[in-house]
Amino acid sequence: MSGPSYLRALERGILRQRVQQAQERLGRCNLCPRKCGVNRLEHERGFCETGSLATVASANPHFGEESPLVGEKGSGTIFFASCNLKCVFCQNYEISHRMAGDEMATEELGSIMLFLQKSGCHNINFVTPSHVVPQILAAVEWSAIRGLKVPLVYNSSAYDSVATLELLKGIIDIYMPDLKCMDPEISGDILNAPDYPDVAKGAIAEMHQQVGHLEIDSAGLAIRGLLVRHLVMPGDAAGTREAMGFLAQRISKNTYVNVMDQYRPCGQAVGHPVLGRAITDSEFESAVAAAREEGISRFDRHTPFRIKFFAF
């Protein structure tokens, strides 16, 4: 069977096994590094405040994603409510912190995937998926049986458990993690997770081991591999040079990276002593220079240019 990897997993019965394994882990939830231990099958809620059903905030063709995902007809993004980090500066604050959205059963979530594919989207892009992996796997199985055949994108913060990522091996085609912050003290302050740097490094290494470098077809579309996002932050709070050094030395100098310039204070970052302002041109230019100096050379086409964002 040709096509995305999950179709082969479906054919071999592997996808069914993964659905069952993931569901079992909801009974004493240890899906993410928080390891809350609550019984989400009985609607108990831990840090992510999510029970047995995934909450979907929105789903639509998205044209603001990285160029190999967007193509001509967009990336089929499904934004899940809540998050296992809840960063103080989150640009999707209403979704991640305030749980805006609707709970959906397996068939509803699967139907959204099929609708996005029918709309012409080049992939299905799961945004903030770390806390709803079992629900995603069940919906992928349901929709794959009914004709889903586009690549799957796992678009996460990288605050992911390696054990949970192993459930996705051979299912997810494209991993697109953030690499947010490299200092444990800063991570504790702004990400609510002092262990974020170590967790993210392990997660990204596992993702790369599963799918390798980003592969782009003749139409310019990603079909498989790793794509890393790094948001440049005021005062170098993200530790850009260290982040790029990790990718170049521990993952690969051929890692496809989007160094992003769109930071602006949102959510609880308004008025923050460090994060309460946008980045400057010189901060962004220094970040890109640091990435190049550390050996990264494969950038998303938007990386070298400043894109101005305005609040309305």
pLDDT digits (tens, 9 = 90+) for 19-42: 999 999 999 999 999 999 999 999
Query: What are 154-208's pLDDT values in tens digits?
Result: 999 999 999 999 999 999 999 999 999 999 999 999 999 999 999 999 999 999 9
Segment 69-98 shows an average pLDDT of: 90
For the chain, give the longest Cα–Cα distance: 55
CB atoms closer than 10 angstroms to residue 25 = 18
CB atoms closer than 10 angstroms to residue 301 = 11
Query: pLDDT category, 302, cuts 50, 70, 90?
Result: low
Per-residue pLDDT at 310: 29
Query: pLDDT category, 312, cuts 50, 70, 90?
Result: very low
- How large a percentage of the chain has pLDDT more than 70? 96
Mean pLDDT (the chain) is 93
Q: Is 13 helix (H, G, I), strand (E, B) or coil?
A: coil
Per-residue pLDDT at 311: 31
Per-residue pLDDT at 1: 42
* Three-state SS sequence of the chain: CCCCHHHHHHHCCHHHHHHHHHHHHHHHCCCCCCCCCCCHHHCCCCCCCCCCCEEEEEEEEECCCCHHHHCCCCEEEEEECCCCCCCCCCCCHHHHCCCCCEEECHHHHHHHHHHHHHCCCCCEEEECCHHHHHHHHHHHHHHHHCCCCCCEEEECCCCCCHHHHHHCCCCCCEECCECCCCCHHHHHHHCCCCCHHHHHHHHHHHHHHHHCECEECCCCCEEEEEEEEEECCHHHCCCHHHHHHHHHHHHCCCCEEEEECCCCCCHHHCCCCCCCCCCCHHHHHHHHHHHHHCCCCEECCCCCCCCCCCCC
Give, in order, the Cα–Cα distances in Å from 67 to each of 44, 75, 113, 231, 299. 39, 10, 21, 17, 11
Per-residue pLDDT at 86: 87
| Sign of the four-CA dihedral 23, 25, 28, 31 | negative
The whole-angstrom separation of Cα 151 and Cα 22 is 21
Angle at 234 between CA 232 and CA 239, to 5 degrees: 55
Residues forming a β-bridge with 230: 259
**Into which CATH architecture does domain 5-299 fall?**
Alpha-Beta Barrel (3.20)
The whole-angstrom separation of Cα 7 and Cα 15 is 9
Query: pLDDT category, 81, cuts 50, 70, 90?
Result: very high
Domain residue ranges in the chain: 5-299
CA atoms within 13 A on the CB side of 298: 16
Between β-strands 174-175 and 222-231, what pairing exists: parallel, antiparallel or unpaired?
A: parallel
